[in-house]
Structure 1
Amino acid sequence: MPDRERLLSGRTAVVTGAARGLGRAIAEELASRGVDVALLGLEGEALARVATGLPTASRSWAVDITDGDALARVAQDVHRLMGPVSIVVANAGVAEAGPFLDSDPDSWRRVIEVNLIGSAVTARSFLPYLLDARGHYLQIASTASIGAVPMMSAYCASKAGVESFTHSLRAEMAHSGVTVGIAYLHWIDTDMIRDADRYTVMRKVRNLMPRPARAISSAEHMARRVVTSVERRAPSVYVPGWLRSGQLIRGVLPGAITRVSRRKLTHSRYAATGLLGAGGRAARGATVMDAGRTADPR
């Protein structure tokens, strides 16, 4: 077995938003390296299908990660049924786009609830177990954490929030043996992005970016980089690598983005999208589908 596979083999990880897209790819990559995975999300049947297809003793729980009481119960179940949790990947996220004034207030709020509040609830629920295991917590962030763009106010606000939350949590946990990482990721080939490309506003936002910044990476490629960062207990990972340079110029980004937007964007031409993709549709109802069901370990 290659050395990198031995690093994580036999451990238990939790991945939120694991029914599809990046979350599913991260769960599959972890399992390929010998990790038992607890898959969490709203879509019970989809989660169960992913769990039963993994090569390790993995299970799934249908749960709304913004529900603190429900997630605390799931954390207890994971510990009881799967043993000590040493890895948590806070991946669950949703997005919408369009002019802020035309956005649906409930959809806008739901983006903040899932992306920011849900990440904090995830940390609150699983950190006691990570403390026992001296484990690693990884927060999935975004290019939007570094530079906010127009027409995506809820998503950018939520991802800026999770960046600050992660940095604060890392400093708070530094004495405890728990390491805290953040993944800055760019466009990923998921159903959310494919759905977004159906809307003029999202195609416009992407086309206003420099050509290298328009590229879309596969979820599998992102997952490999993310899981390698977990192996290394890295404080940060940037995919693609050039995103790291954004930290050096983030002070000038708001002014530059505003100048481009003034020339290129006319808000009256664009409609709000609502929550995007299958994950967005599940989050829109804020209802757990097939709640309480788990996938039997293989």
Structure 2
Amino acid sequence: MSVRTDGGRQSRVAGRVAVVTGAARGVGELMARRLAARGARVALLGLEPDRLREVAADIGGDTAHWTVDVTDAEAMERVAGEVRDRFGQVDIVVANAGVATGGPFTDSDTAAWNRVLQVNLMGSATTARAFLPALLDSRGYLLQVASLAAITPSPMMSAYCASKSGVEAFAHCLRAEVGYKGVGVGVAYLSWTDTDMVRGADENEVMRDLRAGLPWPANRTYPLAPAVERLVDGVERRSSHVYGQWWLRGMQAVRGVLPSVIGLAGQREMRRAEPRLAASGPPRGLVGAGGAADEAARRESTG
């Protein structure tokens, strides 16, 4: 297995132990694959045992997987101990696990809305709490996957925007708390990227059309592989901020005015969409295959 970058130098993650949550599909799966390709030993965490097993077998090498819900603090503490026992250390944690739902807040599916915050925000905090002792020992690095949704509020996405704004703030706070102890903390930002989650959201015609009406470059779906390569580069650099699409860096400079602009423009778009929303009914449940897996796992756990 090659552990060199395109520039010919040895990767700084070679031989390191990387934990990736939400590793059964999408961003998490490809992050695990790319980290392993650069020589990392990888622990895959997620809710889909069959997919995790397949991904781990396909990656090969020193790879292992655990089926665990990131919102279960007791289970995450146990898994963190098992990962450390299995590999001897933990150097990198990618807090990527996430779910989404959409639709107007007033008509939202309460259980799905709450679950988005539980997984995306509380699950990220639970992940950090479980693995920080090991990262403190290794002077390691935590990458928190956030989103354009942390920078730009959007109608029909209140749960997702709230959760991603929350994890962005959480990661910034954590960086100040543990940086002097040698632990790096980064935030990754992604726009609409070609994953099961985004494809699932696009199955709703109203949400798809609202997204298509966004100004360029926020109105298109971006390929997964280049975005993940940028994130893995950020892990190697232990970056404080990592941008999956080139233009997201520029959004930081204008984020202060975006709530006012979107607050006005969003009212116009919602007024236009209201008849179609009334006719079709609000979206229900979590979107995409990952959302379906989350719902299935919770049904199974409750009998």
Gaps of 5+ in 1: 291-298
Per-residue CA deviation, residues 19-55 of structure 1 (Å, 9 max, x unaligned), is: 0011001000001001111000111111111011114
One-letter code of the match for 1:209? L
Aligned to 2:194: 189
Aligned to 1:278: 289
1:63·1:71 contact (CA, 8 Å) conserved in 2? yes
Once residues 248 and 289 of structure 2 are traced to their aligned partners in structure 1, the CA distance between those partners, rounded to angstroms, is 27
Aligned to 1:32: 37
Once residues 204 and 48 of structure 1 are traced to their aligned partners in structure 2, the CA distance between those partners, rounded to angstroms, is 37
Per-residue CA deviation, residues 176-229 of structure 1 (Å, 9 max, x unaligned), is: 000000001111101111111110232133122112212222222111110100
2:228·2:244 contact (CA, 8 Å) conserved in 1? no
1:149·1:257 contact (CA, 8 Å) conserved in 2? yes
Once residues 117 and 216 of structure 2 are traced to their aligned partners in structure 1, the CA distance between those partners, rounded to angstroms, is 29
Once residues 288 and 229 of structure 1 are traced to their aligned partners in structure 2, the CA distance between those partners, rounded to angstroms, is 37
Number of aligned residue pairs: give it: 290
One-letter code of the match for 2:276? R
2:141·2:238 contact (CA, 8 Å) conserved in 1? yes
Shift of 1:147: 1.1
Aligned to 1:15: 20
Once residues 217 and 55 of structure 1 are traced to their aligned partners in structure 2, the CA distance between those partners, rounded to angstroms, is 28
Per-residue CA deviation, residues 251-287 of structure 1 (Å, 9 max, x unaligned), is: 2111111221222223352222420011101222443
Once residues 300 and 37 of structure 2 are traced to their aligned partners in structure 1, the CA distance between those partners, rounded to angstroms, is 27
Stretch deviating more after TM superposition (273-282 or 56-65): 273-282
Once residues 274 and 243 of structure 1 are traced to their aligned partners in structure 2, the CA distance between those partners, rounded to angstroms, is 29
Once residues 76 and 28 of structure 1 are traced to their aligned partners in structure 2, the CA distance between those partners, rounded to angstroms, is 23
- Counterpart selection for 2:246 from 213, 227, 241: 241
Aligned to 1:88: 93
The TM-score with structure 2 as length reference comes to 0.92
One-letter code of the match for 1:13? A
Aligned to 1:58: 63
Gaps of 5+ in 2: none
Aligned to 2:276: 269
**Does 2:52 align with 1:41?**
no
One-letter code of the match for 2:286? L
Task: For 1:127-166, list aligned pairs within 5 A.
Answer: 127-166=132-171
1:16·1:39 contact (CA, 8 Å) conserved in 2? yes
Aligned to 1:295: none
Query: What CA RMSD, in Å, does the superposition of the two structures yield over aligned residues?
Result: 1.6
Stretch deviating more after TM superposition (114-123 or 197-206): 197-206
Aligned to 1:125: 130
**Does 2:117 align with 1:112?**
yes
One-letter code of the match for 1:107? A
Once residues 19 and 184 of structure 1 are traced to their aligned partners in structure 2, the CA distance between those partners, rounded to angstroms, is 20
1:107·1:275 contact (CA, 8 Å) conserved in 2? yes
Stretch deviating more after TM superposition (141-150 or 261-270): 261-270
The TM-score with structure 1 as length reference comes to 0.93
Stretch deviating more after TM superposition (17-26 or 208-217): 208-217
**Cα 1:229/1:199, change in 2 over 3 Å:** same
